[in-house]
Structure formats: C-alpha cells, structure tokens
Amino acid sequence: MVTVPTLIGEPLSAAWSVLASTRISALPRDRETEQTQRSRCCQSLAAASYSRGLSRHRALTMDQGIQAALKGAVDPVLAQAQIPGVAIAIQIANEPLLTLGIGYQDLGQTIPLSTDASFYIYSVTKSLIAAAVLHQVSAGCLGLDAPIQDYWPNFPVATPITLRQILSHSSGLPDYGGLPAYHEAVKTTPDAPWSPIAFLEVASQRDLLFDPGQGWAYSNIGYLALKLLLEKVTGRSMEDCLDELFFAPLGLRQTFVATSLHDVTCLMPGYTSIFGSGLENMAQRYHPDWVSHGVVVSTAAELATMMHALITGQILDLTLIEQMAQPVHSLGSHPPLQNVACGLGLFIDTASPYGRVTGHNGGGPGYSIAAFHFSSLAGRATTIAAATNRDGDNVGIDVAYAVARHLAQG
C-alpha cells in the first residue's frame, strides 16, 4: 500500500525475541491431486508444467554450508522484528521446490517451526482473485473496462467503476482499515465478523476518495466486490473458482478458502498483541471472514507453487499475465523494493537488480506473508514465499528479499 500499511496489509507491532533453529527439506513436485473426475480448465497445462519442473538444472543443494548461510541471512530480520519463526519456500525454474523452517512455532522456543506449517495468506489472496477475474475475462464473461454496474446493477456505488480500476486499487472505493469501529470489533469480538453487507455499507455510506481512475488507494472493499461479482457471474463459490483454477490443477493438498473457525484447526500458531493482553495465539480466535474478500489458507511451499505457476503462465495465458503485471500506478520506493507499482492484483518492482519482480504480500493478526517472483535472480526465474508466525510491518517481504540477496550472491 502506498502509505506503507497498504502495501503491507494492516501492520501491527512486534514484541518477541528469537532464537532460531533451522529445518530444511526438498519437496517432490509430482504430488497427486485429491480432486477426481472433475473438469479442470487448466489441468492439462498445469500437469505439463509440473512434468517440466521435475528436471534439474544445477539444483540448489541444501548442504550444511547453504543451510547456515540462509539462516544467517534471515536471522537478523527475525531478530529485529522479534519474530519467533518463519516458513520459507524457494522455487527456481526447473528445479525441485525447496522449503525451510527457521525458528520456532511456540513462544517457549521448544517446537521447531515446521516447513509444512499452514497460515492465512491474507492479502496474497487478492492475486488469486485477480487471476480468477482475468480467467472470466478470457472466457468473455467479463470485460476489464466495463463498469461493474453492467454486471451488478444495484451495486451500492452509482458512479461507474471499471473492473480494471478495482483490480488496480484506482477505483476510489473507500476502505474499512482505518475505521476505529472495525478495529474495535476485531479486538472485542474476533470470532464474530461483519457480514459482506456490513462491509459494503462502508462503501455506500462514504464518498469515493477520488474520481475512478484519478488516484490510488488500497481497497479491501474493492476486492470484496470482485469476489461477490465472481460468485454472481459463475454461480459458484470463490472456493470453487479458485479450486478449479489453482488448487486442483496444481495438486495442492493444504490450500483452501477458509470460511469458519472450524476450517482452520490446522493453522500454525500466529502471535499478535491486538487483543490487548500481550502476545496471544490468534489461530482459533480470529475468524477468517474478518478478511472481507475471503482468505486462503496455505503453506509456504504451496504458496510458492501458486505464485510461480501464475507468473510463468501455467494458470493463465501469458498475455493476461502481462496485463496483470503492467504498472497502473507508481507507488515509489518502499525498501527493499526499489520502485513499486501496482498492477492488476500484483505489485511490481520495476527497478529491481533481480529482473522484474512481481507478486503480493499480506499481513494481519498473527502472520506476515510475501510471495514474489524474481524474473532473473542469479540469471534464473525464482519465486520465494515467506510466512512469519507473528504479525509485523514488512517482515514477510524482508525475509523474502534476504533470501533473494543470498541467492543472488551465490
């Protein structure tokens, strides 16, 4: 977000010192999908891409020296932000997926953080929603430059706003992130989220921040509108849309859209101080529907798999990916990103020494997330995903870039 909170999600303070331990493993790429006998528009393409991904090209070898170097690169980031642990995944083109667990799952520092840990990916979900919208555009069901009111006549805002403007946060739709009532509700009733209608009232009861297309302001409400539009146009839930496009074709077993606290017993502990009584594990307190546009649960490995597949054209045609990654609005420098721009559901670093960098980050109670694709990191396309088990400004991005810097030097 242009003001740093927008790019990051909703940053929260950090307060935990870290003694980090490391666990590193390689995951096979030939996982079977659990979905059977269902038509998948992307399945054959994704399967072919996975088959190609099995070949090795100077595969990164996780010997003791590499383990120590990666731990050394990440430890200072965790220590500065006082983060207990982080799960990391690295997908280098045509190499096996690699995962790392650094630090601890618990505040008592007795349980090493698992490479298989599940977490909310928070606003990285927006990239998946954007891809699902572009999928409907490619099918002729939606138009990027058509007003949302063409498909949703009683949309709560009368001013015409195009899907492209909503996708790029240039719609002028207000958000709820700065509302005291929202933060008080999350703090006092974390298990009782607002309804979609209540969230949409934020948009209907406030003026547009600017004329559509004439500014930039991060809007979760905009992506709630896109989610509801997808469900209206397809007649299917967001879970079904994303399952068809991502989860089933890529054989993801630990990735799903969470809709209740019963869904998320698998979450790794995520620590936050937003409830006002010191650091607490929010995993069974914070209802996923507080993320108005919906939130995906995943692992670092499966998040890296999704972002890598998306950016490299395994999910959508590359012409659509180019539209997603086309800068619409420049946001300036937000270190470690050099020159950030917003596209359609993606952030782009247009001045990175590692080629074009595309991806998204997310943050909310308990976790800080990043998933970025580097087009030329040490000469190879590489995707890095990181998920910390404590919320904090920019920490997911900082970890991902610490890994990138080490790989670039190697």
Residue 165 in domain? yes
219: CATH: 3.40.710.10
Looking at 219-329, list the stretches that DSSP marks H as alpha helix, in order from N- to C-terminal side.
220-234, 238-242, 300-311, 318-324
pLDDT at res. 253:
97
Residue 44 lies in a domain: no
Q: Cis link prior to 174 (omega < 30° from 0)?
A: no
Structural domain includes residue 394? yes
Q: Is residue 39 one of the residues assigned to a domain?
A: no
Q: Which residue segment(s) compose the domain that 363 sits in?
A: 8-34+62-409
Residue 71 within any structural domain of the chain: yes
Q: What contacts 135, CB < 8 A, 6 or more positions away?
A: 41, 241, 245, 316
**Would you say 164 and 198 are in contact if contact means Cβ atoms under 8 Å apart?**
no
- The two beta strands, 367-377 and 295-299, are unpaired
Q: Is residue 323 part of a domain?
A: yes
For residues 81 and 395, the answer to whether their CB atoms sit within 8 Å is yes
Distances (CA, A) of 216 to 2, 211, 213, 328: 8, 10, 8, 9
Q: Is 13 left (phi over 0), alpha (psi -120 to 50) or beta?
A: beta
Phi-psi domain of 181 (left: phi exceeds 0; alpha: psi -120 through 50; beta: other):
alpha
Number of domains in the chain: 1
Tell me what pLDDT residue 61 has. 56
H or E element that contains 341: strand 337-342
Q: Is residue 52 part of a domain?
A: no
At residue 241, the pLDDT reads 98
46 part of a folded domain: no
Q: Which amino acid is at 141?
A: C
Please give the chain's pLDDT, 410 residues, in tens: 333 233 333 333 222 222 223 333 333 333 333 333 333 333 333 333 333 333 333 456 556 677 788 999 999 999 999 999 999 999 999 898 999 999 999 999 999 999 999 999 999 999 999 999 999 999 999 999 999 999 999 999 999 999 999 999 999 999 998 889 999 999 999 999 999 999 998 878 889 999 999 999 999 999 999 999 999 999 999 999 999 999 999 999 999 999 999 999 999 999 999 988 789 999 999 999 999 999 999 999 999 999 999 999 999 999 999 999 999 999 999 999 999 999 999 999 999 999 999 999 999 999 999 999 999 999 999 999 999 999 998 899 999 999 999 999 97
For residue 104, list its beta bridge partners. Answer: 112
- Tokens 């870290």 appear where? 18
